[in-house]
Amino acid sequence: MKRAAYKDLLHWKSNKFHRPLLVYGARRTGKTYLLKEFAKTEYEKVIYLNFEENPDYKTVFQNEPEASRVLREISSLSKIDVTPGNTLLIWDEIQSCPEALSVLPDFVESDFGFDIIVCGFLPASPKAEAKIEELKQSRTIETLRLFPFSYDEFLSATGHDNMAGLLRSLDWGAIGSLLPKYNQYLKEYLFCGGMPQAVAAFVEGQLPSQVRAVQKDLLTASDNDILRFAPKRHIDEITAVLNSVFPQLLDENQKFNLSKLKDGARLKDYDSSISWLVRAGLIYKVHKLSTVSMPIEFFQDARSFKLFPFDPGMAAALADIDPARILVGDEAFKGFNGALLQTLVLNQIVFRGDPVCYYGVQGSTLSIDFIVQELSRIVPVEVMPYQNGNSKAMRLFFEKNPARKGIRASLDNHFGREWMDNVPVYAVSFFLAGLS
pLDDT tens-digit profile of 153-198?
A: 999 999 999 999 999 999 999 999 999 999 999 999 999 999 999 9
In this structure, are 108 and 253 located in the same domain?
no
Nearest to 114 by CA among 93, 91, 138, 89: 89
Predicted pLDDT of residue 246: 97
Answer whether residue 244 shows pLDDT above 60. yes
In this structure, are 95 and 169 located in the same domain?
no
- The CATH number for 120's domain is 3.40.50.300
In this structure, are 174 and 201 located in the same domain?
yes
Predicted pLDDT of residue 71: 93
Least confident of 125-139, 225-239, 357-371: 357-371
DSSP summary character for residue 149:
P
In this structure, are 128 and 174 located in the same domain?
no
Tell me how far apart the alpha carbons of residues 379 and 357 are, in angstroms, rounded to a whole number: 10
Q: Which of 145, 173, 196 is the last residue of a domain?
A: 145
Predicted pLDDT of residue 366: 81
Residue 146 · residue 23 · CB < 8 Å: yes
In this structure, are 86 and 184 located in the same domain?
no
**What are the distances in angstroms from CA 319 to CA 29, 190, 296?**
20, 13, 32
In this structure, are 74 and 165 located in the same domain?
no
Other beta carbons less than 10 A from residue 32's beta carbon: 17
* Arithmetic mean of pLDDT, 285-308: 95
**What are the distances in angstroms from CA 369 to CA 179, 326, 359?**
24, 22, 7
Answer whether residue 387 shows pLDDT above 90. no
Q: Which of 109, 129, 145 is the last residue of a domain?
A: 145
**What are the distances in angstroms from CA 311 to CA 276, 278, 314, 338?**
17, 13, 5, 14
Tell me how far apart the alpha carbons of residues 183 and 173 are, in angstroms, rounded to a whole number: 16
pTM to 2 decimal places: 0.95
Domain count, the chain: 2
In this structure, are 367 and 247 located in the same domain?
yes
In this structure, are 207 and 66 located in the same domain?
no
Tell me how far apart the alpha carbons of residues 378 and 382 are, in angstroms, rounded to a whole number: 13
Range of the structural domain that residue 246 is part of = 151-435
Nearest to 30 by CA among 132, 109, 119: 119
In this structure, are 286 and 393 located in the same domain?
yes
The three-class DSSP label of residue 203 is: helix
Predicted pLDDT of residue 436: 75
Q: Which of 145, 173, 190 is the last residue of a domain?
A: 145
* Arithmetic mean of pLDDT, 391-416: 88
In this structure, are 127 and 212 located in the same domain?
no
In this structure, are 291 and 194 located in the same domain?
yes
Predicted pLDDT of residue 375: 85
Average pLDDT, the chain: 95
CB-count burial class (<10 Å; 0-12, 13-18, 19+) for 75: middle
Tell me how far apart the alpha carbons of residues 20 and 117 are, in angstroms, rounded to a whole number: 6
In this structure, are 345 and 218 located in the same domain?
yes
Reported confidence tier of residue 327, pLDDT bands at 50, 70, 90: very high
